[in-house]
Copies of this chain bind each other. A is one copy, B any other.
């Protein structure tokens, strides 16, 4: 018997993660998911009760670790700007190591449906971490004034947007941001851009 058959439930979650990310909730059929998991059409109904329940399980397993990984970086040692650099780098790394995450997030936004709790929880958590750093930096004078929440959104936009737009950039511009050296340049650029966007410089209009 095949080795992965040992845990059908796990195989379904993994196949679901890949296919939900690739084709969205509606676009990923139970037939395709069970086929990819080397399982049977009835397996999703049996193990999860419904397609939607499988989707929720997939999201829980994918989004929570992201927040957990950013947390120590954000509240660790270093100046606010240094910690912010770390968050951006870690964000990039995590998205690169888990390519399904940005896709799932994208599919979720595109669907326009009410976001599952895992997504909301993660978003609140991450923006909270960043806002805390920014407020701290504003207090010690290293970060310029401004709404911490909006600034956090702009910072997050760097790794998220640049990761999401990758396939389009490849097709429209012919640049492959997955290629390691280009990717390193991309991360360095994003860190610098975010830092420049935040840091308090000599003069600032208020």
Contact yes or no, A193 B26, CB < 8 A: no
Each complex incorporates copies of this chain amounting to 2
Number of interface residues of A (CB under 8 A): 60
Chain B residues near A24: list those with CB within 8 A: 24, 110-111
Among A10-18, A44-52, A78-86, A196-204, the stretch in contact with B: A196-204
Interface residues of A (CB under 8 A from B): 22-24, 26-27, 103, 106-112, 114-115, 119-120, 123-124, 127, 144, 146-147, 149-151, 153-154, 156-158, 160-162, 164-165, 167-169, 171-173, 175, 185-186, 189-190, 192-194, 196-199, 201-206
A sample of 12 cross-chain residue pairs with beta-carbon separation below 8 angstroms, ordered by A number, consists of A24-B24, A26-B27, A103-B112, A106-B109, A106-B110, A108-B168, A124-B172, A147-B189, A149-B175, A196-B196, A196-B197, A202-B203
